[in-house]
């Protein structure tokens, strides 16, 4: 593995996809490089700890000890920590907010890298191209969304309340309520462990799809090839949200689908929806001790969806029909939560056991206080296999499993 100077992290910027040029009057008021927004204070130097239980660093609150936890506060420290682990031949786990991980009870026999770099920097802001904003990988994602709403940048307001850090968002192509980050990401700057160099990917190079990306596809188990250092977003300058694209959110706002509402109203409505489903972190509430949605929504071919419809009718009657959302090439996305519920796994299934479905949302598997990873995994298998037996659809886990297999 080649080495890199901590001061040699530059790479020629890739071109951004710009909005079509408007007339001169529309572009007259241009703000160029207003400078960095005040960052949240960060630790001044990297730190290393041994034997930290990963249960303390994940939202599911399960997982045994790590051999070593390294906290890096800038891109040079991130690269140095990755190289040190690679040079030593140690397994590497990059930990974001810990919200999308299920870690084995035995822990992780390697280096866990916590990225704590901070900074939100406005590269440019004008009515032609919108706000081009560079965000450090260690920025808390919901705080980034809050800044966007306060600054009048539209495009991520429906992603309010999602736990984790900004660097994780392109990996999973994080999305909710009709938005996902692929709609606003301009480029992603990474450390390529295989080639030992900084690489920047434009949005078209990221191979985004539903809850997937080039970066996720290049992972070996929980080990990444690409370690995200920063993400650049291109956001619309607007007082109103992007068109509301999710039915429950539109109902909560009292508007029709496709309506644009004040950014602050959209954010508040999303946070309310997420809280109602137990998807906003709240330590006293065990419904939030989870990885969020544990299974992705299945995307089926037209033929497979027709088979699902037949099985639903046989089980639930002629009037029952599974949710259907058109996808590319005639495919159909359906609802994992609906399938789980109709297969008999209702809210709170598993109580009073150590692991149970959330009492607010069937798609969240939760730790009721003293669950082990094995308890969560046993429940996940029961739900997955029950849905497969009932409806012929095999659910796929969304969280990354570390030292475990579903």
CATH number at residue 168: 3.30.465.10
390 inside domain:
yes
Q: pLDDT of 139-165, one tens digit each?
A: 999 999 999 999 999 999 999 999 999
The tokens for 182 are 């692929």
CATH of the domain at 357: 3.90.78.10
59 inside domain:
yes
Does residue 255 share a domain with residue 132? yes
DSSP sequence for 131-195: EEEEEETTSBHHHHHHHHHHHTEESSGGGTT--SBGGGHHHHT-EETTEEGGGTEEEEEEEETTT
Q: Which residue has the higher pLDDT, 388 or 38?
A: 388
Average pLDDT, the chain: 88
Of the candidates 211, 260, 311, 372, the residue annotated as catalytic is 211
At residue 2, the pLDDT reads 40
Domain limit, last residue, from 276, 305, 336: 276
Q: pLDDT of 107-132, one tens digit each?
A: 999 999 999 999 999 999 998 899 99
Does residue 256 share a domain with residue 155? yes
CA distance 294 to 285: 18
CA distance 248 to 267: 14
CATH of the domain at 57: 3.30.43.10
5 inside domain:
no
Does residue 196 share a domain with residue 144? yes
Does residue 377 share a domain with residue 338? yes
Does residue 270 share a domain with residue 122? yes
Is position 195 annotated as part of the catalytic site?
no
Of the candidates 160, 290, 293, 358, the residue annotated as catalytic is 293
First to last CA, the chain: 32
Angle at 326 between CA 234 and CA 337, to 5 degrees: 90
pTM comes to 0.83
Domain limit, last residue, from 221, 256, 276: 276
Q: Is 316 a residue whose pLDDT tops 60?
A: yes
Confidence at 183, pLDDT banded by 50, 70, 90? very high
Does residue 219 share a domain with residue 293? no
Contact 191, 79 (CB under 8 A): yes
Does residue 330 share a domain with residue 204? no
Q: pLDDT of 229-268, one tens digit each?
A: 999 999 999 999 999 999 989 999 999 999 999 999 999 9
At residue 96, the pLDDT reads 81
Torsion of CA 104, 92, 400, 248, to 10 degrees: 130
Q: Is 389 a residue whose pLDDT tops 80?
A: yes
224 inside domain:
yes
Is position 90 annotated as part of the catalytic site?
no
Confidence at 362, pLDDT banded by 50, 70, 90? very high
* Residue 12 DSSP class: P
Does residue 234 share a domain with residue 183? yes
At residue 46, the pLDDT reads 54
Does residue 140 share a domain with residue 110? no
Q: Is 299 a residue whose pLDDT tops 50?
A: yes
Q: pLDDT of 93-103, one tens digit each?
A: 998 888 889 99
CA distance 361 to 371: 18
Number of domains in the chain: 3
At residue 188, the pLDDT reads 98
77 inside domain:
yes
Domain limit, last residue, from 256, 276, 296: 276
Does residue 249 share a domain with residue 175? yes
Does residue 299 share a domain with residue 232? no
User: In which domain, by residue range, is 111 found?
Assistant: 47-115
At residue 28, the pLDDT reads 42
281 inside domain:
no
At residue 19, the pLDDT reads 35
225 inside domain:
yes
At residue 1, the pLDDT reads 42
Confidence at 36, pLDDT banded by 50, 70, 90? low
14 inside domain:
no
């Amino acid at each position: 593995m080649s080495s890199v100077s901590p001061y040699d992290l530059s790479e020629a910027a890739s071109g951004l996809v710009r909005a079509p040029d408007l007339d001169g009057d529309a572009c007259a008021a241009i703000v160029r490089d207003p400078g960095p927004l005040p960052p949240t204070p960060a630790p001044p130097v990297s730190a290393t700890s041994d034997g930290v239980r990963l249960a303390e660093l994940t939202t599911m609150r399960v997982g045994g000890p790590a051999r070593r936890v390294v906290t890096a506060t800038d891109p040079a420290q991130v690269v140095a920590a990755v190289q040190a682990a690679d040079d030593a031949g140690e397994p590497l786990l990059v930990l974001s907010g810990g919200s999308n991980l299920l870690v084995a009870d035995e822990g992780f026999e390697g280096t866990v890298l916590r990225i704590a770099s901070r900074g939100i920097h406005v590269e440019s802001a004008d009515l032609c191209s919108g706000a081009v904003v560079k965000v450090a990988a260690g920025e808390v994602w919901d705080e980034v969304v809050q800044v966007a709403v306060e600054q009048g940048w539209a495009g991520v307001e429906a992603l309010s309340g999602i736990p984790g850090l900004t660097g994780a968002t392109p990996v999973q192509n994080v999305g909710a309520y009709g938005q996902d980050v692929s709609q606003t990401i301009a480029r992603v700057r990474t450390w390529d462990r295989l080639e030992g160099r900084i690489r920047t990917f434009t949005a078209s190079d990221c191979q985004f799809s539903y809850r997937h990306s080039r970066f996720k596809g290049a992972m070996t188990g929980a080990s990444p090839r690409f370690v995200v250092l920063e993400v650049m977003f291109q956001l619309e300058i607007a007082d109103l949200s992007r068109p509301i694209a999710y039915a429950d959110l539109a109902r909560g706002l009292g508007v029709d689908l496709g309506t644009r509402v004040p950014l602050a109203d959209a954010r508040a409505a999303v946070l309310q929806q997420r809280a109602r489903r137990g998807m906003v972190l709240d330590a006293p509430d065990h419904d939030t001790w989870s990885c969020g949605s544990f299974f992705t929504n299945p995307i089926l071919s037209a033929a497979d969806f027709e088979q699902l419809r037949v099985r639903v009718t046989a089980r639930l009657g002629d009037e029952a029909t599974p949710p259907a959302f058109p996808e590319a090439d005639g495919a159909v996305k359906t609802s994992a939560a609906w399938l789980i519920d109709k297969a008999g796994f209702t809210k709170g299934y598993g109580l009073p056991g150590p692991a149970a479905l959330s009492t607010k949302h069937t798609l969240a598997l939760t730790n009721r206080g003293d669950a082990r990873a094995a308890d969560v995994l046993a429940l996940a298998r029961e739900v997955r296999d029950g849905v497969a037996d009932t409806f012929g659809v095999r659910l796929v886990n969304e969280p990354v499993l570390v030292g475990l297999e579903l």
